[in-house]
Structure 1
Amino acid sequence: MHLGDIAHVRAGDKGDISQISVIAYDPADYPLLARAVTCERIVGHFAQLPVSVIQRYELPALGALNFVLHGALHGGVTRSIALDLHGKTLSAQLLDLEIDPATPCGVAP
């Protein structure tokens, strides 16, 4: 299963920081999100990006996780020569993250 099967995303960017919120369609899926979508998995998924710091904020009342990726935009939207590194493109790519609801950590073996 992919993250996009159980959640949607919202994103924003400011300077060199991309912020991605992952929101469960069904609040009952939030515990799976909390187990499976970790900072380590996000960094691994975006291994090609020069992320210097990643922060995760848990919002269980909203069924959401918010990730702040410092350094993810190669110097910032207006300074980068790379195409399509804006926050909304990264968030769409994140929906392809594989998760496994059958494992205790939510990660496919």
Structure 2
Amino acid sequence: MQLRELAHARTGDKGNTLNVSVICRDPRHYDHLCAHLDAATVKARLAGIVYGDVMRYELPALGAFNFVLRDALGGGVTRSLALDAHGKSVSSALLAIEVPDPA
């Protein structure tokens, strides 16, 4: 199943760094996603977009994660010629990650 069935996501930019928040639709799925959605998986999914480190911050009280993606915006909004300089479409790409069904 795709991550989008268990969570939604929002992005934000700061310079050449992109934040992606992933919020569980049902807090009961948090532990499942904690086990299956790590920084390496996110970096692999976004290869060709993210060239720096990916860090995962866990927010269990919110049933959410914040991924910080370094060197992900072509130098930042004011320097990039990318069509999506703010990285808003990255959340959709991330939500297409395949994760096991929590059953």
Does the pair score TM above 0.5?
yes
Q: For 1:55-103, what per-residue CA distance to the aligned partner results, in whole angstroms no more than 9, with x for missing partners?
A: 110001100010000101011112111212423211121111111136x
- Counterpart of 2:77 in structure 1 is 77
Q: Secondary structure at the match of 2:88?
A: helix
Uncovered stretches (5+) of structure 2, i.e. residues with no partner? none
**What is the identity, as a one-letter code, of the residue corresponding to 2:58?**
E
Shift of 1:50: 4.0
Q: Which runs of 4+ in 1 moved over 3 A?
A: none
- Counterpart of 2:34 in structure 1 is 34
Q: TM-score, normalized by length of structure 2? A: 0.92
**What is the identity, as a one-letter code, of the residue corresponding to 1:28?**
R
Uncovered stretches (5+) of structure 1, i.e. residues with no partner? 103-109
State the superposition RMSD in angstroms.
Answer: 1.3
Q: Is the 8 A contact 1:12 1:87 kept in 2?
A: yes
**What is the identity, as a one-letter code, of the residue corresponding to 1:88?**
K
Q: TM-score, normalized by length of structure 1? A: 0.87
Where does 1:1-109 land on structure 2 (aligned, <5 Å)? 1-101=1-101
CA distance in 1, matches of 2:50, 2:42: 12
Q: Secondary structure at the match of 1:30?
A: helix
